[in-house]
Amino acid sequence: MTSRVNRRALLTAAPAAALPVALAAPALAQSNPEVRWRLTSSFPRSTDILFGTAEAVAKRVGELTEGKFRITAFPGGEIAPALSALDAVQSGSIECAHTASYYYIGKDPALAFFTAVPFGLNARQNTAWLRYGGGQELMNEMMRDYNAIAFPCGDTGAQMGGWFRREIRTVDDIKGLKFRITGLAGQVFQRLGATPSVVPASDIYSSLERGTIDAAEFVGPHDDEKLGFARVAPNYYAPGFWEPGARLHFIANQRAYDALPANYKAAIAVATAEADAEMVAKYDVANPLALRRLVASGAQLRFWSRPILEAAWRANNEVLDELAGKNERFKKILESHRRFRDDVYTWHRVSENSFDNFAFTASQTVR
């Protein structure tokens, strides 16, 4: 699958300290070769759960291989720009990344599906679509264009709908809104009359304070709390219907991956699967406590009205259908995604949702 020359070129792109010890021998010929990989994350070190997921994968891969296969995780910006992680992996200058495929919809909007599309799959449903509904195969078909292979690696769960300086009661209130929001969701809000913009996380607070923007969405209580938005844009909306779950991926350069022995490939598959499940579990422990503190500090918890949700639902279908009309690959993935969504929504409405609807309220009302 890979020539020695190319593999050597790839490996020697790493700094001297990260050079594999047994460079002369092809990895496959050895039982447990020394391998060093660098990982570039799209997230800063301060996002303990997001960046921590890449660190957890690296640690586990080391444990599984008696320290022979070592991955070192770097925060976004240290060895590659946060939103260019895929490019670094594609060129082979870095062996692997931890990132969200929807950061790259400028290359192809179909990359959005594997992270999140508005009104798409929640975290559990996305796991099922990726692992057994064909989603991951569709992603890896695309990843081949980038010399890469991807493994699901973490989910935020349903995100919050962001921070607004004013209340948003009607569809009309969205018109003219300057909203910090990224990806396909920006196109949905644009259709509803908003002006979407991309502002780096570090500048959101000051932009809200000065009124350069009227609203901003980020992730959920655990991550949002650190940025202090409640002081300048106190209306905190639920749910972030454009991200009912946001799935991250561990993405490896295909040549680097192909050169690994089978047990190292298995180590990546399981370490990422473990981290995939653990990330949302960490959020489920941290978010309830952060939400309580946010409300205590002045956040006004509000819910989107049904007319707003219905207008957004329709606008989203228009956006998706238009993109499908222009892009065969987008169309193929949209069809798989919608078919799975309709099946699993029906089933979860019967089972999970009928349980949740009763139990989530009963714990506060039935005595």
Residue ranges of the annotated binding site for Na(+) are: 218
Q: Is 282 in the site for a second copy (CB under 8 A)?
A: yes
Q: Is 284 in the site for a second copy (CB under 8 A)?
A: yes
Q: Given the complex with a second copy, which of 114 and 241 has the nearer CB atom?
A: 241
Q: Which of 80, 82, 149, 280 binds a second copy (CB under 8 A)?
A: 280
Annotated binding site for substrate: 159, 180, 217, 243
Find the helix or strand (DSSP H, E) in which 169 lies: none
Q: Phi/psi at 142 (nearest 5 deg)?
A: -70, -40
Minimum separation from the CB atom of position 133 to a second copy (A): 6
Minimum separation from the CB atom of position 80 to a second copy (A): 27
Q: Give the per-residue contact string, 228-267, with a second copy (x = CB under 8 A; - = no).
A: ----------xxxx--x-----------------xx--xx
CB burial of residue 154 (10 Å; 0-12, 13-18, 19+): buried
Residue holding tokens 């593999």?
A: 7
Annotated binding site: 159, 180, 217-218, 243
Find the helix or strand (DSSP H, E) in which 252 lies: strand 247-253
Residue holding tokens 């991926």?
A: 249
Q: Give the per-residue contact string, 142-181, with a second copy (x = CB under 8 A; - = no).
A: ---------------xxxx---------------------
Collapse the DSSP code of 123 into the 3-class scheme (helix H, G, I; strand E, B; otherwise coil) and give the result: helix
Residue 319 near residue 191, CB atoms below 8 Å: yes
Residue 213 near residue 197, CB atoms below 8 Å: yes
DSSP string, 301-327: EEE--HHHHHHHHHHHHHHHHHHHHH-
Q: Given the complex with a second copy, which of 40 and 125 has the nearer CB atom?
A: 125
For residue 295, give the amino acid letter: V
Q: Given the complex with a second copy, which of 159 and 254 has the nearer CB atom?
A: 159
Q: Which of 132, 137, 167, 293 binds a second copy (CB under 8 A)?
A: 132
Q: Given the complex with a second copy, which of 60 and 98 has the nearer CB atom?
A: 60
Minimum separation from the CB atom of position 321 to a second copy (A): 13
Minimum separation from the CB atom of position 57 to a second copy (A): 10
Q: Which of 285, 298, 325, 335 binds a second copy (CB under 8 A)?
A: 285
Q: What's the longest Cα–Cα distance across the chain?
A: 71
Report which of 77, 73, 81, 97 is spatially closest to residue 147, judged by C-alpha positions.
97
Q: Give the per-residue contact string, 82-111, with a second copy (x = CB under 8 A; - = no).
A: ------------------------------
Report which of 72, 51, 52 is spatially closest to residue 61, judged by C-alpha positions.
72
Residue 35 near residue 260, CB atoms below 8 Å: yes
Q: Give the per-residue contact string, 339-358, with a second copy (x = CB under 8 A; - = no).
A: --xxxxxxxxxxxxxxxxxx
Minimum separation from the CB atom of position 38 to a second copy (A): 22
**Structural tokens at position 199:** 């502002």
Rule CB under 8 A: which of 286-305 touch a second copy? 287-289, 291, 301, 303
Q: Given the complex with a second copy, which of 26 and 239 has the nearer CB atom?
A: 239
d(CA 288, CA 86): 33
Residue 206 near residue 142, CB atoms below 8 Å: no
Q: Give the per-residue contact string, 16-55, with a second copy (x = CB under 8 A; - = no).
A: ---------------x------------------------
